Amino acid sequence: MRKCALANKNALLAAMAKTAKLYVPVDGADEKSRDVNSRLAGAYYAEWKDGTQLSKKLNTTRSPKDFFFPQTENMMTFKMTGKKLEIFDTRREHEDFILFGVRACDVRSFTVLDNVFLSDPVDSYYANRRAHGIIVSMACNKPAGTCFCRTFGIDAADPEGDVICWEDDAYIYLTAKTEKGEGLLNAVADVTEDCADDAADAVKATVNERLDKLPLADLKSDAFGGGKTDTFFNDPAWNELSEACLGCGTCTFVCPTCQCYDIKDFNTGREVIRFRCWDSCMYSDFTMMAHGTNRPNHMQRFRQRFMHKLVYYPENNGGLFSCVGCGRCLSRCPISMNIVKVMKKLGGNENAE
């Protein structure tokens, strides 16, 4: 394990930034700024430049999945010259980049996405970005009231990632978990020093203690998982749960694991750009086909999203839930309906209050 005094954090980040483009969570505007809206919009990832202040917020409003699965991505272009059609492959080898300060929940979300995009047939666009990204995760010193990562077996005190970091009042501790991570740590050896492998244990203990006390600490996922389709699919509670849902895409778009996309063409007049962009199963035209839509009413669309997170995905992915308990949907849903409420309503006695 390596450590770096907090006073030298800028140097550490500078050293990282030398190896690849470095992205860090920052605030929309500094505290003194009159730009209240940018500040209230929350943190987001931005490229680190010398002196960039890192956000103190627990998490970014948009999840870091954007780096591997951006909201829109060009796939190819077509060009008509007279009556001749040409197709251009727009794929390019992605440049290396580092994501710094990724939380445990979000790191797990990459695994969730990997299962989808890297299994056969491999999504070359995603794979390209994934191969070039290095994840530097950060333990959650102050988990928020809306956090429930433990429900899904995620340890915010000991995240996954290429490099794991912990921070206390004096130091930032770093340990590499992968070859990529080792490489990065070697590259920043000049600004870090060796320390005992248990140096971060105190931090871990504090975090664990705090996780125990979270309001949602008792939320259990046991009732859900693969093979439970019949248990939940026809539950009348879906009607009630979906009643107020607006059918907007907020939960989907802030969710680190939502992975649905649509493929569309944009005609610039000179060429046609074929791109993919995020889609939401909450939208009425989601997977619209010639015969119409296969989930014609809103309850069905609402149900799909939660069934996918809690039943369908685990069924196809060895029990892994595709919710990571980051709490983004809890704080952003316009009508405050969310997966926790769904789990409590459907999840039987163990989740009853």
Partner 1 sequence: MQVNENFKPLIVAFCCNWCSYAGADLAGNNRLNYPAEVKIIRVPCSCRVNPMFILRAFQRGADGVIICGCHPGDCHYTSGNYFTRRRMSLLFSMLDYLGIERERTRVEWVSAAEGAKFAATMNEFVEQVTALGENKRLEDLRCKQ
Partner 2 sequence: MQTVTRDLLLQKACELLDAGTVNRVYGWQKGQFDYDVTPAVFSSREELEKDFVYNDFCGANFSKYLIKETAGEGKILVFLKPCDTYSFNQLLTEHRFDREKVYAVGIPCDGMADIRLIEEEVGEGVTGVETDGDKLIVHTLYDGDVKLNRADYLAERCRVCKSKKHVAYDELLGEDGDVVDSARFDEVAKLEAMTPDERFAFWQNELSRCIRCNACRDVCPACTCEKCVFGNPKSGVENKAVSDSFEEKMFHIIRAFHVAGRCTDCGECSRVCPQHIPLHLLNRKFIKDIDAFYGEYQAGAEVGSRAPLVDYTEGDMEPGEAVASVDERGGKDA
Partner 3 sequence: MQRIGVFVCWCGTNIAGTVDVVKVAEALRTEPGVVFSDNYQYMCSQAGQDMIKDAIKEHNLTGIVVCSCSPRMHEATFRKTAAAAGLNPYMVEIANIREQCSWIHKDMPTGTEKAIILGKAAVAKVNLNTPLTPGQTPVTKRALVIGGGIAGIQTALDIADAGFPVDIVEKLPTIGGKMAQLDKTFPTLDCAACILTPKMVDAGQNENIRIFSYSEVEEVGGFVGNFSVKIRKKARYVKEDICTGCGLCTEKCPQKKVPNEFNLGMDNRRAVYIPFAQAVPKVATIDPNYCTMLKTGKCGVCAKVCTAGAIDYKQKDEIIEEKYGAIVAATGYNPISMNKFDEFAYSQSKDVITSLEFERLTNAAGPTAGKLLRPSDGKHPHTIVFVQCVGSRCSHDASKGKEYCSKICCMYTAKHAMLVRDKYPDTEVYVFYIDVRTPGKAFDEFYRRAVEEYGVHYIKGMVGKVTPEGDKLKVLASDLLADKQLKIDADLVVLAAAIEPDKSARPLATMLTASMDTNDFFTEAHPKLRPVESPTAGVFLSGTCQGPKDIPETVSQASAAAAKVIGLLCKDKLTGNPCVASSNELMCNGCSSCEKVCPYGAITYEDKEFRMPDRTTKLRRVAKVNEAVCQGCGCCTVACPSGAMDLKGFANEQIMAEVDAICK
Q: Which of 88, 119, 209, 266 binds partner 1 (CB under 8 A)?
A: 266
Instruction: Tell me whether residue 238 or residue 275 sits nearer to partner 1 (CB atom).
Output: 275
Instruction: Tell me whether residue 62 or residue 180 sits nearer to partner 2 (CB atom).
Output: 62
CB of 244 to partner 2, least distance (A): 4
Interface of this chain with partner 1, residues 317 to 336, rule: CB under 8 A: none
The distance of Cα 184 from the centroid of its chain, to the nearest Å, equals: 22
- Residues 219-258: x/- map of binding to partner 1 (CB under 8 A)? ----------------------------------------
CA distance 180 to 163: 8
Pick what 76 binds: partner 3, partner 1, partner 2, none; C-beta below 5 to 8 Å, kind-dependent. none
Pick what 153 binds: partner 3, partner 1, partner 2, none; C-beta below 5 to 8 Å, kind-dependent. none
Phi, psi for residue 156 in degrees, rounded to 5: -70, -15
- Nearest one of 125, 107, 105 to 117, comparing CA atoms: 125
Q: 3-state secondary structure string, the chain? A: CEEEEHHHHHHHHHHHHHHCEEEEEECCCCCCCCCHHHHHCCEEEEECCCCCCCCCCCCECCCHHHHCCCCEEEEEEEEEECCEEEEEECCCCCCCEEEEEECHHHHHHHHHHHHHHCCCCCCHHHHHHHHCEEEEEECCCCCCCCCCHHHHCCCCCCCCCCEEEEECCCEEEEEECCHHHHHHHHHCHHHCEECCCCCCHHHHHHHHHHHHCCCCCCCCCCCCCCCCHHHHHCCCHHHHHHCCCCCCCHHHHHCCCCCCEEEEEEECCCCEEEEEEECCCCCCCCCCECCECCCCCHHHHHHHHHHHHHHHHHHHCCCCCCCCCCCHHHHHCCCCCCHHHHHHHHCCHHHCC
Should residue 92 be labelled a site residue for partner 1 when binding is judged by CB under 8 A? no
- Residues 267-306: x/- map of binding to partner 1 (CB under 8 A)? -xxx--x---------------------------------
- Of the candidate spans 16-24, 129-137, 190-198, 247-255, the one that interacts with partner 2 by CB under 8 A turns out to be 247-255
Where on the chain is the footprint of partner 3 (CB under 8 A)? 80-83, 267, 269-270, 292-293, 296-297, 300
- Residues 331-350: x/- map of binding to partner 2 (CB under 8 A)? xx-xxxxx-xx---------
Instruction: Tell me whether residue 59 or residue 175 sits nearer to partner 2 (CB atom).
Output: 59
Should residue 296 be labelled a site residue for partner 2 when binding is judged by CB under 8 A? no
Should residue 279 be labelled a site residue for partner 2 when binding is judged by CB under 8 A? yes
CB of 284 to partner 3, least distance (A): 8
CB neighbours of residue 314 within 10 Å? 22
Using CB under 8 A as the binding criterion, the count of chain residues that bind partner 1 stands at 5
- Nearest one of 62, 205, 211 to 150, comparing CA atoms: 211
Should residue 246 be labelled a site residue for partner 2 when binding is judged by CB under 8 A? yes
Q: Which of 37, 124, 186, 297 binds partner 2 (CB under 8 A)?
A: 37
Instruction: Tell me whether residue 90 or residue 331 sits nearer to partner 2 (CB atom).
Output: 331
Positions touching partner 1 (CB under 8 A) are: 266, 268-270, 273
Positions touching partner 2 (CB under 8 A) are: 28, 35, 37-42, 44, 57-58, 61-62, 71-72, 142-146, 210, 213-216, 240, 243-244, 246-250, 252-254, 262, 264, 266, 275, 277-280, 283-285, 330-332, 334-338, 340-341
